[in-house]
Amino acid sequence: MLNSALAGLSRVANTLAITANAAGTLAVLVLVAILNVDVVARGVFNSPIPGTYEIVQLSVVFIVFLQLADVVRVDRLTRSDGFLNLLHSKRPILTANLRRVINAISAIFMFLIAYIMFPEFLKM
């Protein structure tokens, strides 16, 4: 019973991660379109799109966080964990606990970044 519930939850999480990754990819395409329109508007009409800088600034953070879950899911995240890999053969329980601590700290930092950026996002 528990295994089937976990498998179902895992399928839902995987689907959400893949969907968020696809949304991040679409956001990149939209960002490219916005930048191209802004360049043309500046050069041809001498009238840039207002707020393009802010759109780009927030979009980069938005895209990174949208695609992060799927990158972690398929274990393609670039990271430096050589020390943990060396430690794992001698102290696997310590290594597992260190990974949990690192993941918790990372989650806190992601939340803080989102929390700090949200009022600026609403203001725009």
d(CA 70, CA 37): 30
In this structure, the answer to whether residues 62 and 94 fall within a common structural domain is no
pLDDT at 29: 96
Radius of gyration, CA atoms only, the chain: 20
40-80 pLDDT per residue, tens: 999 999 999 998 988 888 899 889 989 988 888 887 777 67
Higher-scoring residue by pLDDT: 96, 2: 96
Measured CA to CA, the distance from residue 68 to residue 72 in angstroms comes to 6
d(CA 99, CA 111): 18
In this prediction, residue 20 has a pLDDT band, given cuts at 50, 70 and 90, of very high
Based on the domain organization, do 57 and 11 belong to the same domain?
yes
- The rounded distance, in Å, linking the Cα atoms of 18 and 69 is 8
Closest-CA residue to 31 (of 79, 5, 66) = 66
pTM of the model: 0.61
pLDDT score for 25: 94
Q: Please say whether the dihedral angle defined by the alpha carbons of residues 7, 73, 24 and 18, taken in this order, is positive or negative.
A: negative
**Domain ranges, residue 11:** 1-77
Is the domain of 31 the same as that of 67?
yes
One domain for residues 49 and 60: yes
Task: Output the pLDDT for position 3.
Answer: 83
- The count of domains in the chain is 2
Same domain, 94 and 118: yes
Supply the mean pLDDT for the chain: 89
Poorest-pLDDT segment among 60-69, 74-83, 89-98, 115-124: 74-83
